[in-house]
Chain A
Amino acid sequence: DAKTTQPTSMDCAEGRAANLPCNHSTISGNEYVYWYRQIHSQGPQYIIHGLKNNETNEMASLIITEDRKSSTLILPHATLRDTAVYYCIVRVQGSWGKLQFGAGTQVVVTP
Chain B
Amino acid sequence: ETGVTQTPRHLVMGMTNKKSLKCEQHLGHNAMYWYKQSAKKPLELMFVYNFKEQTENNSVPSRFSPECPNSSHLFLHLHTLQPEDSALYLCASSQGGQGTGELFFGEGSRLTVL
Contact = CB atoms under 8 A, between A and B. Distances in A.
Interface stretch (B11-19, B72-80, B104-112): B104-112
Contacts of A43: 2, 4, 90, 92, 105-108
A93 B92 CA distance: 16
Contacts of B21: none
B100 A44 contact: no
Given A41-B88, A42-B108, A43-B92, A98 B56 contact: yes
Interface of B: 2, 4, 31, 33, 42-45, 48, 50, 55-56, 88, 90, 92, 94, 96-108, 110
Interface SS of chain A: loop
Interface centre among A45, A93, A98, A102 (most CB of B within 10 A): A98
Contacts of B106: 43
Contacts, number: 71
15 contacts: A34-B102, A42-B107, A44-B105, A45-B105, A46-B103, A49-B100, A93-B98, A95-B101, A96-B50, A97-B33, A97-B48, A97-B92, A99-B45, A101-B42, A101-B44
Contact of A91 (B31, B98, B99, B101): B101
Contact of B108 (A41, A91, A93, A100): A41
B44 to A, nearest CB: 8
Given A46-B103, A46-B104, 11 more contacts: A41-B88, A45-B2, A45-B105, A49-B101, A94-B98, A98-B45, A99-B103, A100-B45, A101-B42, A101-B43, A104-B42
